[in-house]
């Protein structure tokens, strides 16, 4: 299951040095987010122990959303060694996300 990122744990969990993290910014009312959610869950299982993959509910965690300028959801943010290396806005295929993750490993 995907990690639940929050305003409280984001810095320690997602932005840690020597890690690769994938963060899905979402909300329960967002239709396209519901399409991406199962893909994030699958990838979390496939990359368990290699990549931190999780979700951040923008309604419940406004500080991180504001900090990274998240204006549209779903937004998937790719972080390597504490630095944002890419953002993808909108839905995405599993193959597309896997390709981006693999390029960061």
Is 53 marked active-site?
no
What's the pLDDT tens digit per position in 53-79?
A: 999 999 999 999 999 999 999 999 999
| Contact predicate 52/19, CB 8 Å | yes
Is 33 marked active-site?
yes
Overall size of the chain counted in residues: 105
Confidence of residue 83 (pLDDT cuts 50, 70, 90): very high
**Domain tally for the chain?**
1
- Taking all residues of the chain, what is their mean pLDDT, rounded to a whole number? 96
Residue 95 domain boundaries: 3-104
| Contact predicate 22/51, CB 8 Å | yes
Active-site pick, 14, 22, 23, 30: 30
Helix axes 94-104, 31-46, angle to 10 degrees: 50
* Domain CATH for 71: 3.40.30.10
| Contact predicate 9/54, CB 8 Å | no
């Amino acid at each position: 299951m995907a990690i639940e990122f929050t305003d409280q744990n984001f810095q320690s969990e997602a932005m840690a040095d020597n890690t690769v993290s994938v963060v899905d910014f979402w909300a329960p009312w967002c239709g396209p987010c519901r399409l991406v959610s199962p893909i994030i869950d699958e990838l979390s299982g496939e990359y368990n122990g290699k990549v931190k993959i999780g979700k951040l509910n923008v309604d419940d965690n406004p500080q991180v959303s504001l900090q990274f300028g998240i204006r549209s959801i779903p937004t998937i943010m790719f972080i390597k060694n504490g630095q944002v290396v890419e953002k993808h806005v909108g839905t995405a295929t599993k193959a597309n996300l896997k390709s981006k993750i693999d390029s960061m490993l």
